[in-house]
Amino acid sequence: MATPAQWIEGARLRTLPMALAPVLAGSAAAQALDSFDLLRAVLALLVALLLQVGVNYANDYSDGIRGTDDDRVGPLRLTGSGAARPQHVKAAALLCFGLAAVAGAVLVVLSRQWWFVPVGLSAVLAAWGYTGGRMPYGYLGLGDLFVFVYFGLVAVLGTTLTQAGTLNAEAWVAAVATGLIACALLMANNVRDLPTDREAGKRTLAVRLGDRRARAVFAAEIAVAFALVLLLVPANPWMLVVLLLVPAAVPPVATVLRARDRRLLVPVLKQCGVLNVGWALLFLLAVLLRQWV
């Protein structure tokens, strides 16, 4: 039986900032429309966090039973290590998805954004299908695309729509930028696991691109995420404050570009999470400064 500490480690808390960042950014866009709603923001955050933990457990289960995690670098995997029974890990994933569905249903009722019901269901299916099912798309190199769509476009735009009922330029820029940083985290993770993924037949985008090009894509994703802010500067010069975070992006980019020891890529996951939350917080600050100053 896995210990509580092992279950917490299996939840991969270092990835949770990727769920927090788009809700912060989407709420900032809603604030720019003078439509911020705390209750709906909290519900959106619950949905995002529960889906993130759920997909982490689902990946643990699916990769574990396939043998992908038998020999890997990085944090504990409950199934692959034998710390927990596969059916228990699967049940934990399904419980998280169920709770996310409940929070999402309340959010839909409050916002009357009924179209979000099929979108929410597709998010659950996408969370499971990353490494689960007969043809997991994570093994086909499509994981990055789905991460961009759901952790960028859907999460940010959905958060803004459920509060404001409409979208603005801030929402679109934030959706693309946070989605790219989430993709960068996934790319760093997959570059770390590249040798074992290749051997296990897991054809992630990093495997398809090859080591060198995958590392270059990581750097490009981070760079574009910050450059996009410049599109909003003519309407709100305070958006330049987001660029104050650029120095914090240098260490993870340098590590990914230069590190040969793949164990050195493990801290990059946390650094990417911090970058995404930092980006969203400074983005929110820029919106508030324009309204207050």
pLDDT in tens, 105-148: 999 999 999 988 999 899 888 888 887 777 788 788 898 999 99
C-beta separation of 29 from 156 below 8 A: yes
Could you read off the pLDDT of 242-293 as tens digits, one per residue? Answer: 999 999 999 999 999 999 998 899 899 999 999 999 999 999 999 999 999 8
Q: What pLDDT does 231 receive?
A: 98
pTM of the model: 0.91
**pLDDT exceeds 80 at position 8:** yes
Give 42's pLDDT tier (boundaries 50, 70, 90): very high
C-beta separation of 116 from 70 below 8 A: no
**pLDDT exceeds 80 at position 69:** no
Alpha-carbon distances, residue 212 vs 74, 194, 256 (angstroms): 20, 11, 10
Render 86-145 in DSSP notation, one character per residue: HHHHHHHHHHHHHHHHHHHHHHHHHHT-TTHHHHHHHHHHHHHHTT-SSS-GGGGT-HHH
C-beta separation of 147 from 179 below 8 A: yes
Q: What pLDDT does 101 receive?
A: 94
Q: What pLDDT does 72 receive?
A: 55
CA neighbours closer than 13 Å in the CB half-sphere of residue 5: 0
> Given the structure tokens 């590249």, which residue do they identify?
194
